[in-house]
Amino acid sequence: MQQVAFELLHAQHDRQHDPRRHEPLARQRDEDRATDEQHAGHRDREGLGGAEAARVGDLALDLMLRGGDVIEHSPIGDRDWLEPATACIVHPKLGLAPDALNFDVGNACLGFINGMALTAAMIERGDIDHGIVVDGESARVVVESTIARLADPACDRDLFRSSFATLTLGSGAAAMLLSRREMADDGHPFHGVVSRAATEHNELCQGQPDDMRTDAAGLLTAGLALARETWRDAVDVFDWSADAIDAAFIHQVSRAHTRSVIGALGLREDRIPLLYPEHGNIGPAGAVVTCSQEDAAGRLFPGDRAGAVGIGRGAYFAQAGITWGGCSGAPGPGRCAGSRSPLPR
Residues 189-208: pLDDT tens digits?
999 999 999 999 999 999 88
pLDDT of residue 55: 59
Q: Which among 46, 52, 109, 137 is annotated as catalytic?
A: 109
Q: Is 83 assigned a catalytic role?
A: yes
22, exposed or middle or buried, with CB in 10 Å at 0-12, 13-18, 19+? exposed
For residues 293-320, average pLDDT: 92
Instruction: Quote the CA–CA distance of 195 and 318 in Å, as a whole number.
Output: 4
For residues 124-140, average pLDDT: 91
Residue with more model confidence, 335 or 280: 280
For residues 208-216, average pLDDT: 92
Residue type, 272: I
Of 64-78, 145-159, 282-296, 325-339, the one with minimum mean pLDDT is 325-339
For residues 139-166, average pLDDT: 95
Q: What are the residues whose beta carbons fall under 8 Å from the beta carbon of 84, sequence distance 6 or more?
A: none
**Where in the chain are all domains bearing CATH 3.40.47.10?**
4-183, 188-326
pLDDT of residue 341: 47
Count CA atoms closer than 13 A to 66's CA, side-chain side: 29
pLDDT of residue 253: 92
Average pLDDT, the chain: 81
Contact call for residues 287 and 310 (beta carbons, < 8 A) = yes
pTM of the model: 0.83
Work out the percent of the chain whose per-residue pLDDT is above 70: 76
pLDDT of 68 strictly over 80? no
When pLDDT is cut at 50, 70 and 90, the band that residue 299 belongs to is very high
CATH number of 188-326: 3.40.47.10
DSSP assignment string, 154-178: T--HHHHHHHGGGGGB--EEEEEEE
Contact call for residues 285 and 135 (beta carbons, < 8 A) = yes
For residues 120-134, average pLDDT: 93
Instruction: Quote the CA–CA distance of 50 and 57 in Å, as a whole number.
Output: 10
Count CA atoms closer than 13 A to 118's CA, side-chain side: 20
CATH ID of 4-183, from 3.40.50.10860, 3.40.47.10, 3.30.43.10, 1.25.40.80: 3.40.47.10
pLDDT of residue 54: 57
pLDDT of 34 strictly over 70? no
pLDDT of residue 13: 64
pLDDT of 18 strictly over 60? no
When pLDDT is cut at 50, 70 and 90, the band that residue 91 belongs to is confident
Residue with more model confidence, 331 or 301: 301
Q: Is 37 assigned a catalytic role?
A: no
Residue with more model confidence, 25 or 8: 8
70 strand-pairing partners: none
For residues 326-334, average pLDDT: 42
pLDDT of 10 strictly over 80? no
When pLDDT is cut at 50, 70 and 90, the band that residue 80 belongs to is low
pLDDT of residue 204: 95
